[in-house]
Amino acid sequence: MEQGASGSNETVIDSEQDWRDERTRDIVDKIETLRQSIDNVDMAIVALLAERFKYTSSVGVLKARAGFAPADYKREEEQMRRLRRLAIDAGLDPEIAEEYREFVVTEAKKRHKRIAETGEDPGVLDIFA
């Protein structure tokens, strides 16, 4: 089998396959190693996201208890500035750090909506934690 199962639009890369030459075999091995690193990164990020949503939920509960508004734009601005700076330090496009923040905020909103739709108490929406 050459270049995977599905022709030119897709190449299924699988170390069990019988690749056409030594050089291709070598590239496939390197890709497999990198994919394992990508999977490890994803595992760590999923674990961190789980913690992040627990923290933001707790902040939401505390804000409600104190009668605080959900929004805190000063905090939001500081977070954004910090994330951009951290991204630059880490060699990441700062636009991606901004989009990451958009992503967690959007997910917090969706999550809240999903919980409300199942009839459960969605708790306090705290997208600005």
Q: If you count them, how many residues does the chain have?
A: 129
Report how far residue 62's alpha carbon sits from residue 72's, in angstroms, rounded to the nearest whole number. Answer: 14
Residue 77 touches a second copy, criterion: CB under 8 A: no
Report how far residue 2's alpha carbon sits from residue 65's, in angstroms, rounded to the nearest whole number. Answer: 63
Report how far residue 127's alpha carbon sits from residue 105's, in angstroms, rounded to the nearest whole number. Answer: 5
Q: How far is the CB of 121 from a second copy (least distance, A)?
A: 16
Residue 110 touches a second copy, criterion: CB under 8 A: yes
**Of 18, 90, 117, 118, which one interacts with a second copy (CB under 8 A)?**
90
Report how far residue 95's alpha carbon sits from residue 23's, in angstroms, rounded to the nearest whole number. Answer: 37
**Of 17, 83, 105, 124, which one interacts with a second copy (CB under 8 A)?**
83
**Rule CB under 8 A: which of 1-40 touch a second copy?**
3-4, 6, 8-14, 23-24, 27-28, 30-31, 34-35, 37-39
The tokens of 73 are what? 């734009």
Q: How far is the CB of 82 from a second copy (least distance, A)?
A: 7
Residue 81 touches a second copy, criterion: CB under 8 A: no
